[in-house]
């Protein structure tokens, strides 16, 4: 519930600010990708200023996300390696536990056999 209220408190003013920005920056601007010919560019697009700014912000978020993802590649690789090490150690530990349980069971059975032999010895002695 608190999360929903917090989202509304943040998103509603943000949406109002974005809409106000878009309304205030409706004028058309020319975007040219030809740095050599300002008068007659090879390619130019006319679009609203707010659309250009929104597109550049979205592009910046995408480029920043890709850069962060690439920078974290070594950490992800290390996490994968450590995860495989942990899995191998868990398997080894489980094998050791099974072996220890089998050894304990064998020791218990040996103790039971030796106790049964010692209990039967006095009856075999002459009276």
Looking at the structure, tell me whether residues 114 and 74 fall in a common domain: yes
Domain of residue 74: give its range: 68-118
Looking at the structure, tell me whether residues 38 and 75 fall in a common domain: no
Distance of CA 98 to the CA centre of its chain: 33
Looking at the structure, tell me whether residues 7 and 48 fall in a common domain: yes
Residues listed for the chain: 127
Looking at the structure, tell me whether residues 50 and 8 fall in a common domain: yes
pTM: 0.58
Looking at the structure, tell me whether residues 74 and 50 fall in a common domain: no
Looking at the structure, tell me whether residues 6 and 49 fall in a common domain: yes
> Is there a domain that residue 63 lies in?
no
Looking at the structure, tell me whether residues 50 and 83 fall in a common domain: no
Looking at the structure, tell me whether residues 34 and 72 fall in a common domain: no
> Is there a domain that residue 123 lies in?
no
> Is there a domain that residue 76 lies in?
yes
The answer to whether 40 and 18 have CB atoms below 8 angstroms apart is: no
Longest Cα–Cα distance of the chain, Å, equals 129
Buried b (16+ CB within 10 A) or exposed e, 65-100: eeeeeeeeeeeeeeeeeeeeeeeeeeeeeeeeeeee
Q: Cα–Cα distance between 124 and 43 in angstroms, integer?
A: 112
Structure tokens at 16: 């109002």
> Is there a domain that residue 107 lies in?
yes
Q: Cα–Cα distance between 48 and 20 in angstroms, integer?
A: 14
Write the DSSP symbol of residue 39: S
Tally the domains of the chain. 2
Q: Cα–Cα distance between 14 and 21 in angstroms, integer?
A: 10
Per-residue pLDDT tens, the chain, 127 aa: give them.
888 898 899 989 988 998 998 888 888 988 888 888 777 888 888 899 989 989 999 999 999 999 999 999 999 999 999 999 999 999 999 999 999 999 999 999 988 888 777 665 555 555 5
């Amino acid at each position: 519930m608190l999360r929903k209220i917090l989202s509304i408190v943040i998103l509603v003013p943000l949406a109002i600010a974005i809409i106000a920005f878009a309304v205030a920056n409706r004028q058309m601007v020319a975007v040219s990708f030809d740095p050599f010919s300002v008068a007659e560019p090879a390619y130019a697009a006319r679009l609203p200023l707010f659309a250009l700014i929104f597109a550049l912000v979205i592009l910046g978020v995408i480029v920043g996300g890709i850069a962060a993802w690439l920078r974290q590649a070594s950490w992800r690789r290390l996490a994968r390696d450590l995860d495989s090490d942990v899995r191998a150690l868990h398997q080894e530990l489980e094998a050791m536990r099974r072996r220890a349980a089998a050894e304990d069971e064998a020791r218990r059975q040996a103790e039971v056999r030796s106790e049964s032999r010692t209990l039967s010895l006095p009856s075999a002695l002459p009276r």
